[in-house]
Structures are given as structure tokens and as C-alpha cells.
């Protein structure tokens, strides 16, 4: 069975899409905002919600950090 794309919340305020199997508390690697990409291309955040009502544009989680 293929995982469906879902919207999750990271650090209580940022919505990202993912097909990864994540749970609250997981650490994920995320793309940095465009205005920071020349300094750091990625950052690490914590999954804080498994659903989001935000319907605007979102970028995808890059990977999940194995714990």
C-alpha cells in the first residue's frame, strides 16, 4: 500500500507535506526558506501535529531522522 500525502505541522506553526510515516515528536529534515537557502539549505524540526487545516502552498519534508 502506497502512503498518501498528508499535511503535518512542525514546531507548532509550519505546515509541510509528507508521505513519510511520522508521529508526534519525530525529528524531520526540512528545506530552508528561500531567503535562508544560501546560508543553510535545510533545517531540523519536530513534528507537533499530524494534521493541518492550512490549504495554501506547502513544501515537502525531505526526510525523517531515525531515532
Question: Tens-digit pLDDT profile for the chain (67 aa)?
Answer: 567 999 999 999 999 999 999 999 999 999 988 777 777 889 999 999 999 999 999 999 999 998 6
CA distances from 52 to 33, 36, 37, 47, 58 (A): 19, 24, 25, 12, 11
43 within domain boundaries: yes
CA distance 26 to 54: 20
DSSP-based three-state secondary structure for 22? coil
50 within domain boundaries: yes
31 within domain boundaries: yes
Paired with 27 in beta bridges are 46
56 within domain boundaries: yes
21 within domain boundaries: yes
pLDDT value at residue 1: 55
Strand-strand pairing, 42-49 and 27-31: antiparallel
54 within domain boundaries: yes
1 within domain boundaries: no
pLDDT value at residue 20: 96
Total number of domains in the chain: 1
Amino acid at each position: 500500500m502506497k502512503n498518501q500525502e498528508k499535511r503535518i505541522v512542525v514546531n507548532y506553526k509550519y505546515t509541510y507535506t509528507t508521505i513519510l510515516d511520522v508521529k508526534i515528536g519525530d525529528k524531520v529534515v526540512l528545506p530552508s526558506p528561500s531567503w535562508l537557502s544560501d546560508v543553510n539549505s535545510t533545517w531540523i524540526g519536530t513534528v507537533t501535529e499530524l494534521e493541518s487545516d492550512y490549504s495554501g502552498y506547502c513544501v515537502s519534508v525531505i526526510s525523517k531522522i531515525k531515532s
